[in-house]
Chains A and B, each alone.
Chain A
Amino acid sequence: DVKVTQSSRYLVKRTGEKVFLECVQDMDHENMFWYRQDPGLGLRLIYFSYDVKMKEKGDIPEGYSVSREKKERFSLILESASTNQTSMYLCASSLAGLEAFFGQGTRLTVV
């Protein structure tokens, strides 16, 4: 059974904190993605990675960075969390664009 696992379902962080969201996939997929989901806006791509140590900015990369040191793991980093980064964060992986498999999501609240 294929699996994308996000390290936390719910997180509460303080403004200014550095936040790490972790994602691990067990399908040997080369592509991994971080999306942010907000009501009425759908899913917006923050960053994606098509290989180890390779990354590209998505549509809303400001305030975020990513790390992919191993093929199975893709981390999203909020350098200095702000209240406007309160959102649902979804990680996904795929093989050559055929379909994306999603994790359960991390609901982040920044107070």
Chain B
Amino acid sequence: AQSVTQLGSHVSVSEGALVLLRCNYSSSVPPYLFWYVQYPNQGLQLLLKYTTGATLVKGINGFEAEFKKSETSFHLTKPSAHMSDAAEYFCAVSGASGTYKYIFGTGTRLKVLA
């Protein structure tokens, strides 16, 4: 079975500091991996995705993530946090069983301090 673990339900960073949100997954087949962002009372918006090819993927709003198969990780980073990055972030995996269900982590709420 697939699963996703996000370390840290709450992360605080200062404005301008590095953002690092951690995601580890388990999957018996090559996964598709995703990061989504959710602003209050909104649905989820795709930040970036890894399906095949280059393991470093760039997304919207300056975020990027690196797929590391040996570590079963897909951590999300941004070099310099902005106040507008405050939101909840979800890591997700799909690709097993041929039915393309998405399994989500429990989320990390990012707080950006002025």
A interface residue numbers (CB < 8 A to B): 4, 9, 31, 33, 35, 40-43, 45, 48, 50, 56, 58, 90, 92, 94, 96-105, 107
How far apart are A102's CB and chain B's nearest CB, in angstroms? 4
B106:A41 contact, CB within 8 angstroms: yes
A42:B90 contact, CB within 8 angstroms: yes
Q: Please, how many residues of chain B have a CB less than 8 angstroms from a CB on the other chain? A: 25
B105:A50 contact, CB within 8 angstroms: no
B interface residue numbers (CB < 8 A to A): 9, 32, 34, 36, 41-46, 49, 51, 90, 92, 94-95, 99-107
B105:A42 contact, CB within 8 angstroms: yes
B41:A105 contact, CB within 8 angstroms: yes
A45:B101 contact, CB within 8 angstroms: yes
- The majority secondary structure among interface residues of chain A is strand
Q: Which one, A40, A48, A99, A104, contacts B42 given CB within 8 A? A: A104
A97:B104 contact, CB within 8 angstroms: no
- Among B44, B95, B99, B103: residue with most chain A CB under 10 A: B44
B100:A97 contact, CB within 8 angstroms: yes
- Chain A residue nearest in CB terms to B51: A98
A103:B101 contact, CB within 8 angstroms: no
